[in-house]
Chain A
C-alpha cells in the first residue's frame, strides 16, 4: 500500500467539528505493539450519530476500538469516553457497549442465557425483560434457546450485538459487525444502528467494506496505516481534496459543443467524450458547479444531467490510500 498523499491529509482533516458535545475523544493518541506503530498520533472527536471507521485490514481500526474500550492503553496521548479514560476503568461499561470482532463467545450457552448473563453482569433491575428486549431488537427470539455453537456466524454476531445492547448503552462500539451476516440480516442491523444513532446514541463501527460505511455512517473516520487520513462527511472530504480533479459526467443536448465551451473555463482541467456522455475533470469544484448552468445557457445548450462520478466513498478511499 502506498502512503497517503501528504497534500490530501491536512485538507481532509479540516472537516467540521461535530456540533453536539463530543462523547468520544482521542487526543494525539499513539499506540505501539512492540516496535510496530498501530495507531499514530490520532486526534478525533465523536458525538451522537453513526460514525464509520473505515480502513484496509491492518490499518489500526481494531486498535482504536480497543483503546476506546479500555483493552489497550495509549502509549502516548489520551482517550476519553464521556470525559473518563477507559483504561483500568471498567465502570465505563455502564454506558458503553462493545461488540468485539472475534467470533469467540460462550458457545455452550444459548443466546438467551448469554444475553441474560450480560444483563445480570450490568446489574440491571429487570435482567430478564432487558434480555428479551435486546433479543427482540436483533430478531433472535425464535432461535434464542439454541446453544450458540449451533449458530451461523451471522447469528453469533447478532447474539453479540444483543449482549452489547442489553443495557441500552449511550456509546456502542462495534468491530466489523456485519461480518458473516446475510443481506437481510445486514439490512436489519443497519436499520437498527441507524435508529440508535438517530435516538442520540454514539455509534462507532469499523469496516473495511466501503458500501457498508457509505450506507450507514453519517460521518467517516478513514484510517490508513495507523494514521487518520480523513474525518467527517465523505462528500465534504472529497471537496476538500483540492489537489485532485473532480470528475463529473454530463449529458446535454450537444456534448461536443459543451466540451468546447467548458475547455475555455480555467476551472476545467480536461474533458473526454464517452459513450455515456461528457466526462469533465474540474480542478475547482465550487467554481465549476456555480458556472456550469450559466455557461450552458449562454451557449444555448440544454443540460440534461450532471453526475459527480467520483464522490462515492470508494473514490475518496481510493484517493486517500493512493490506490
Chain B
C-alpha cells in the first residue's frame, strides 16, 4: 500500500530541482502581507479572516499544492525518469500513495503551517480563527495534493490543468455558480475553518459536514483514478 523507497526518491527528487525554491514563495508572501497589515492594523476591519481565509486557504494552499503536487509525479513523467520507478514490481497504488503522501506532507509544511503562523501573528496569539484556518488548510493540503497527483498521472502538461482548476473553477465559476461550491476544495477548507472559528468573514458557503464528506469522497475517487491512470502509463512516441 505504501512504499518508503518511492517516498524517499520522491522527496529527494522534489528538493533536487530548482523548482523547490518556489515552494516557499506563496507562504513568504502570506507572512510578509500579514506583518504589513499587522503594522498598519485598524485600516481594514476583520482583515485577519480575509487574509487567512482568502489569501491563506484560498490562494497559498492551492498554489503551493500545485507546485508540489505536479512536481512529485508530473516532472518525473515529463523527463521519463519515472520509467525507472515503474520498471519495478511495485504496485501502482503504492507509487500513488507514496507520492501523494510526500506532496501532502510538504504542502502541509509549506502552506498549512505558514497559515497557522500568519494567524498567530495577525491575532497576537493562538485563537480560534488561526486554528480553524490551519485545520482547513491542512484538509486543503490533502485534497489538493490528491487532485494534482491525479492530474499528473492523467494528462501531459499537468500544470496547465491544475492552474485552470484553481483559477477558473475555484476563483471564478464557484463564485458565480452556486452549485459549484460543492466541488470546490477551497470551500471545503473554509467550511472547516468556519466551523472552528465561527467567523462569518471567511465567506464559507458550506458547513463542516458536507465539507468533510465531500473531501473524503474526493480523496478516495482521486487516488483510485490516479492509480488507474498510472497503471495504464504509456511511453510517448519520439
Binding site for B on A (CB under 8 A): 33, 36, 38, 58, 62-63, 66, 69, 71-73, 88, 90-94, 96-98, 100, 102, 104-109, 114, 117-118, 120-123, 160, 163-164
Contacts and interface: CB of A to CB of B under 8 A. Distances in A.
B89 A98 contact: no
Given A90-B92, A100-B80, A121-B85, 20 more contacts: A62-B235, A62-B238, A72-B235, A91-B89, A93-B88, A98-B83, A100-B83, A104-B79, A105-B84, A106-B13, A106-B16, A109-B12, A117-B5, A117-B9, A118-B84, A120-B5, A121-B90, A122-B88, A160-B84, A163-B84
B238 A122 contact: no
B8 interface: yes
A58 B6 CA distance: 33
B231 interface: yes
Contact of A90 (B6, B13, B81, B91): B91
Interface in B71-129: 79-81, 83-92
B84 A71 contact: no
10 contacts: A69-B87, A104-B83, A105-B81, A106-B13, A106-B81, A106-B84, A107-B16, A108-B16, A109-B9, A118-B84
A106 B12 contact: yes
B232 interface: yes
Given A117-B8, A118-B84, A71 B235 contact: yes
A316 B13 CA distance: 46
B52 to A, nearest CB: 35
A160 B83 CA distance: 11
B2 to A, nearest CB: 13
A105 B76 CA distance: 9
A94 B89 contact: yes
Contacts of B8: 117
B237 A108 contact: no
A92 B90 CA distance: 10
A58 B238 CA distance: 9
A271 B47 CA distance: 98
B80 A71 contact: no
Interface string B197-238: 000000000000000000000000000000000011111011
A103 B9 CA distance: 18
Contacts of B83: 71, 98, 100, 102, 104
B54 interface: no
A63 B234 CA distance: 11
A106 B17 CA distance: 11
Contacts of B233: 71
Contacts of B16: 106-108
Contacts of A108: 12-13, 16
A98 B87 contact: yes
Contacts of A91: 89
A164 B79 CA distance: 19
A163 B83 CA distance: 12
A88 B80 contact: no
Nearest to B228: A88
Contact of B234 (A73, A106, A109, A121): A73
B3 interface: yes
Given A90-B91, A102-B83, A122-B88, A38 B237 contact: yes
Contacts of B84: 100, 105-106, 114, 118, 160, 163
Contacts of B86: 71, 90
A98 B84 CA distance: 8
A50 B98 CA distance: 37
Contact of B3 (A58, A73, A121, A163): A121
B83 to A, nearest CB: 5
B89 A90 contact: yes
Contacts of A107: 16
A118 B88 contact: yes
A140 to B, nearest CB: 16
B89 A93 contact: yes
Contact of A36 (B92, B234, B237): B237
A33 B235 contact: no
A71 B3 CA distance: 21
Contact of A88 (B6, B13, B232): B232
A109 B86 CA distance: 17
Interface string B22-43: 0000000000000000000000
B76 to A, nearest CB: 8
A257 to B, nearest CB: 56
A38 to B, nearest CB: 7
A160 B81 CA distance: 11
Contacts of A100: 80, 83-84, 87
A102 B89 contact: no
A69 B237 CA distance: 15
B81 A121 contact: no
Contacts of B87: 69, 93, 96-98, 100, 164
A104 B236 CA distance: 14
A106 B231 CA distance: 21
Contacts of A104: 79-81, 83
